Structure 1
Amino acid sequence: MAAYAIVDLDIFDIADYLEYQRQLRPLLEAAGGRYLVRGGEFEVIEGEYRPQRIILVEFPSMEALRDFYESDAYRDLEKQRKACSRAIMVAVRGVEDALALQD
């Protein structure tokens, strides 16, 4: 079952972030990750949430997402991301039947 990384990202050094992004792409692809949302226009329709930049990445499974996030390759790259941006990240498991009314 697919899993999703939902990220609210505040970039404060765009040049360094673009280099991070360039190095991130092959790691994501190797883990089966693919962008569904990467920045772009958004609208808060309820509540007082004020995101900066929304990113949504789909992985084949929660295990694949965790393996990616906890990998040595990403841990090294994560230091670069933290030097140029601030993030809130949530991992969520998808559902097989989006119409199912169960947990």
Structure 2
Amino acid sequence: MINKLILACLIGVSVASSAQAVTPAYYVAEFQPTDRETMKPYSEQVESTFKPFGGTFIVRGGEPDVKEGFGAQGKLVIIKFDSLKNAQDWYNSPEYQQLIPIRHRSGNSRTYIVEGLPLQ
């Protein structure tokens, strides 16, 4: 009886742990360039800063087709991360922090980190 109870608990634990959903996070940026030449070092280096944190481009430089509202502030960039922590750790990393002033000098941007819906 006790062995069956232990087995049931173990099976329940393993099923519960394998069913946990992964919640991705996204870095979303609207970027309106004012100096494309100044932006080149940022564009060439940014991917190498987020790859170690599991980031991947979902959208890079996409032209938005605005349907409602006031419109985007330029091109869109979306980078997907496995977790909110990974996205925040990347953004706060010394490697990325060194690139931010280049982006600021090169145009106008609005950036966000948002948590996505859990993936099953």
TM-score, length-normalised on structure 2?
0.74
Runs (4+) of structure 1 moved beyond 6 Å?
A: none
Tell me the C-alpha RMSD between the 2 structures: 1.6
Percent identity over paired residues: 26
Q: 2:47 aligns with which of 12, 19, 25?
A: 25
Aligned-partner SS, 1:47: coil
Aligned residues: 98
Quick check: which has more Rg, 1 or 2? 2
Alignment of 1:88 with 2:110, yes or no, is yes
> Which fold has the larger relative contact order, with Cα–Cα distance below 8 Å and residues 6 or more apart in sequence?
1
Post-superposition shift, 1:92?
A: 0.9
Instruction: Supply the AA of the counterpart residue of 2:76.
Output: I
Runs of 5+ consecutive residues of structure 1 not aligned to the other structure: 99-103
Runs of 5+ consecutive residues of structure 2 not aligned to the other structure: 1-22
Structure 1 residues 59 and 97: CA distance shift in structure 2, 3 A: closer
Post-superposition shift, 1:42?
A: 2.1
Q: 1:71 aligns with which of 93, 97, 100?
A: 93
Aligned-partner SS, 1:39: strand
Alignment of 1:58 with 2:96, yes or no, is no
For the 8 Å contact 2:24–2:84, the answer to whether it is kept is yes
For the 8 Å contact 2:30–2:72, the answer to whether it is kept is no
Compare the two structures and name the one with the higher helix fraction.
2
